Amino acid sequence: MTNQKTETKALHSGYRADPSTGSVAVPIYQTTSYQFQDTDHAARLFELSELGNIYTRIMNPTNDVLEKRLADMEGGVAALAVASGQAASLYSIQNIARAGDNFVCSSHIYGGTFNLFKNTFKDMGIEARFVDPRDPENFRKATDDNTRAYYAETYPNPSFEVFPIGEVASIGLEYGVPLIMDNTAAPVICKPFDHGAAITMYSTTKYLGGHGNSIGGIIIDSGKFDWEAHQKRFPSLREPDSGYHGAVWIEAAKPLGPIAYILKARVTLLRDAGAAMSPFNAFLFLQGVETVALRMERHCENAMAVAAYLNSHPKVEKVIHPSAQEGEIKRRADTYLGGNYGGLMGVELKGGKEAGQAFINKLKMFYHVANIGDSKSLAIHPATTTHAQLNNEELLKAGVTPGFVRLSIGIEHIDDIIADLDQALGN
């Protein structure tokens, strides 16, 4: 990790001019495979006594820069780029949980993650125990000897209640359970490792890419979780891996640094299941990452102005944004988002579902899409789209009411954003 600030790391970490050409832009290494120097070299790479490029399903020099850059920005030691945010969520759990195991998960999560955890993991014999994140003690209550991880989103929509990262990470440390944070909605403005999280993951599709052109994900290892001290809980890191010449990941990683978790994810899960990020997408994400700090500033500033505008509008029932929160929920937003409240918010219009849908249909500049974190402003009606797979009880638990509209406030001029909202509200 370097001592530079995040904005500087976003431009420089992990790369300094291509040694053979001098290229300042990170080259796109659009190759499947890499010439070995000789058979000894190839053998050393395969047995992991030397780290190097073998095959792009497992590693690639363009992806490597993205991984190093985001790991450094996050305050971690290593990262693994994958094909989507979904693949990142899947691998982050699958890397340490087997059939018969469980993990405890905040009920305030993205609908796609909820489906993956509730249904696909169930089919694999891994149980997701969903708990209300408002009370951190719920994580303790759901923990038993087979609990392998805690999982949550920093700034979940549609509740927009910031997760108690430090409180839950501390409970996890008592039991030797690592906290995995999906920080997709709060890059730069929240650093989960500073508050005790062990692993972060991102859908790079959103703010990190920032331009709505590529699907990707990344898992970042803080290097701080002591897998060895808690090895009783992690047979997959402690026992010889029959899929890799009997490697014991806690031991195999020792000469390479505190990277047992991310090393195993790369050379077993990514090798076997193959959800690799395309090098071209890694290049596009690198372009996005260069400006993510600047963009986040504008997203947050614009969202504050939109929240103030909507709050005083007669057709608005409620604005769901940290600036409108109180008490412990607000305190968490202040603690973990450092005074910035992110670019996402919810608005509940008077008139329920019909009013919400009519509002979306009248928007002219906002795009009506199933996405967040684009530079452009976006809107959607979650109950009939992103969260449509949830039953009524699950919807309420996730904080989705019928008239709820989710807004992802972009970096356009604030006057134009408010003008579009204003005309769609019928003024």
Residues within the interface to ligand PLP (CB under 6 A): 84-86, 110, 112-113, 153, 182, 184-185, 203, 205, 215, 217, 372
The residue whose two tokens read 């701080």 is: 224
Residue type, 51: L
What are the structure tokens assigned to 59, written together? 């590693």
Name, in order, each residue with C-beta under 8 angstroms of 171's C-beta and a sequence gap of 6 or more: 136, 137, 139, 140, 143, 150, 177
For CA atoms 201, 376, 308, 289, give the dihedral sign: positive
Provide the β-strand partners of residue 181.
Answer: 152, 200
Residue 287 Cβ vs ligand PLP, minimum distance, rounded to whole Å: 17
Residue-wise DSSP of 200-232: EEEETTTTTT-SS----EEEEE-S-S-TTTTGG
Nearer to ligand PLP, 155 or 193 (CB): 155
Residue nearest to ligand PLP (CB): 85
Angle subtended at Cα 132 by Cα 127 and Cα 137, rounded to the nearest 5 degrees? 90
Nearer to ligand PLP, 113 or 200 (CB): 113
User: Rounded to an integer, what distance in angstroms lies between the CA atom of residue 55 and that of residue 29?
Assistant: 12
Nearer to ligand PLP, 69 or 387 (CB): 387
Residue type, 236: S
Measuring CA to CA, which residue among 154, 221, 147, 216 is closest to residue 181? 154
Nearer to ligand PLP, 196 or 217 (CB): 217
Residue 292 Cβ vs ligand PLP, minimum distance, rounded to whole Å: 16
Residue type, 354: E
- Paired sense of beta strands 78-82 and 217-221, if any: antiparallel
State the chain's maximal CA–CA distance in angstroms.
74
How many CA within 13 A on the CB side of residue 266? 29
Q: How far is CA 81 from CA 40, 236, 240, 384, 391, in A?
A: 28, 21, 25, 31, 33
User: Rounded to an integer, what distance in angstroms lies between the CA atom of residue 207 and that of residue 295?
Assistant: 8
Residue 234 Cβ vs ligand PLP, minimum distance, rounded to whole Å: 24
Residue 74 Cβ vs ligand PLP, minimum distance, rounded to whole Å: 16
Nearer to ligand PLP, 187 or 217 (CB): 217
**Distance, first Cα to last Cα, the chain:** 52
Residue 286 Cβ vs ligand PLP, minimum distance, rounded to whole Å: 17
Residue 184 Cβ vs ligand PLP, minimum distance, rounded to whole Å: 4
Nearer to ligand PLP, 131 or 237 (CB): 131
Residue 203 Cβ vs ligand PLP, minimum distance, rounded to whole Å: 3
Nearer to ligand PLP, 147 or 203 (CB): 203
Nearer to ligand PLP, 203 or 236 (CB): 203
Measuring CA to CA, which residue among 179, 164, 151, 152 is closest to residue 332? 164
Residue 181 Cβ vs ligand PLP, minimum distance, rounded to whole Å: 10
Residue 154 Cβ vs ligand PLP, minimum distance, rounded to whole Å: 9
Residue 153 Cβ vs ligand PLP, minimum distance, rounded to whole Å: 5
Nearer to ligand PLP, 127 or 182 (CB): 182
Q: What are phi and psi of 67, to 5 degrees?
A: -65, -45
Nearer to ligand PLP, 64 or 182 (CB): 182
What are the structure tokens assigned to 17, written together? 């001019």
Nearer to ligand PLP, 161 or 182 (CB): 182
Residue 163 Cβ vs ligand PLP, minimum distance, rounded to whole Å: 11
Judge contact between 224 and 193, C-beta under 8 A: yes
